[in-house]
Amino acid sequence: MKRLATLVASFSVFAMLGCGGGSSGATPEAQAPGAAPPATGETPAPPAATEGGGGEKAAEGPAKAGGGLEVTIESRSGSQLTGTATFAEEGDGVKVSVRIGNAPPGLKGLHIHEKGDCSAQDASSAGDHFNPGGHPHARPPDEPRHLGDLGNIGVSPEGVGQLEIVVKGANLKPGDPNSFLDRSIVVHGKKDDGGQPTGNSGPRIGCGVIKKK
Ligand SMILES: [Cu+2]
């Protein structure tokens, strides 16, 4: 848990630094000033594994304060899953940050489904994958793919999983054909193997409606 919290904190710190960089439509890859990795750092990646981050408080703050939508993922199909997903427009896409617990270990398919309805016990009410472009199913970064194809979330032996992905071309505008708003995020019980039509990822064990509170 500690390590995950640190990771979340690091992401959050990075996001905050990025926001402070100015109001231009800068790329999300912009380097965080003053955050150069330690001497041994060979990877140019953002400080995702930086130690001694902002602590646990920082992990909770920005998710709600950044203007994004926070969605609770509820258990379905008899699972014990818990989870949260946040959605925030970033550049020409939407950044999706997901964290789940009490989940079965391993890779689990994760998708945006077309209907904002998780009411069914098996989440069948969420409908099919969100696919406004009429593309075949695939896993990121493969293209083309359903706009709602988020790939797999890796769940640890302790049942904890975390994923962050920016979906280019999506937005959170009400009524927009490419909007994630009023759709749902679904966690599956099996790995998305990339197969047609929806990746053979099994039952829907978690579901959350993406809506403004
Ligand atoms: Cu799905």
| Centroid of ligand 1 to alpha carbon of 24 (angstroms) | 35
| Centroid of ligand 1 to alpha carbon of 127 (angstroms) | 9
| Centroid of ligand 1 to alpha carbon of 112 (angstroms) | 7
| Centroid of ligand 1 to alpha carbon of 57 (angstroms) | 32
Distance CA 87, CA 101 (A): 18
Average pLDDT, the chain: 79
| Centroid of ligand 1 to alpha carbon of 187 (angstroms) | 7
Query: Could you tell me if 50 and 58 are in contact, meaning their C-beta atoms sit under 8 angstroms apart?
Result: no
167-183 CB burial, b ≥16 within 10 A, e <16: beebbbeeeeebbbbbb
pTM recorded for the entire structure: 0.70
**N- to C-terminal Cα separation, the chain:** 28
Write out the chain's pLDDT in tens, 213 residues.
Answer: 444 444 444 343 333 333 333 333 333 333 334 334 344 433 333 433 333 333 333 334 333 434 689 999 999 999 999 999 999 999 999 999 999 999 999 999 999 999 999 999 999 999 999 999 999 999 999 999 999 999 999 999 999 999 999 999 999 999 999 999 999 999 999 999 999 999 999 999 999 999 997
Distance CA 109, CA 185 (A): 11
Query: Could you tell me if 107 and 152 are in contact, meaning their C-beta atoms sit under 8 angstroms apart?
Result: yes
| Centroid of ligand 1 to alpha carbon of 125 (angstroms) | 12
| Centroid of ligand 1 to alpha carbon of 147 (angstroms) | 12
Domains of the chain in start order, with CATH, are 69-213 (2.60.40.200)
Copy the structure tokens of residue 108.
Answer: 């689990």
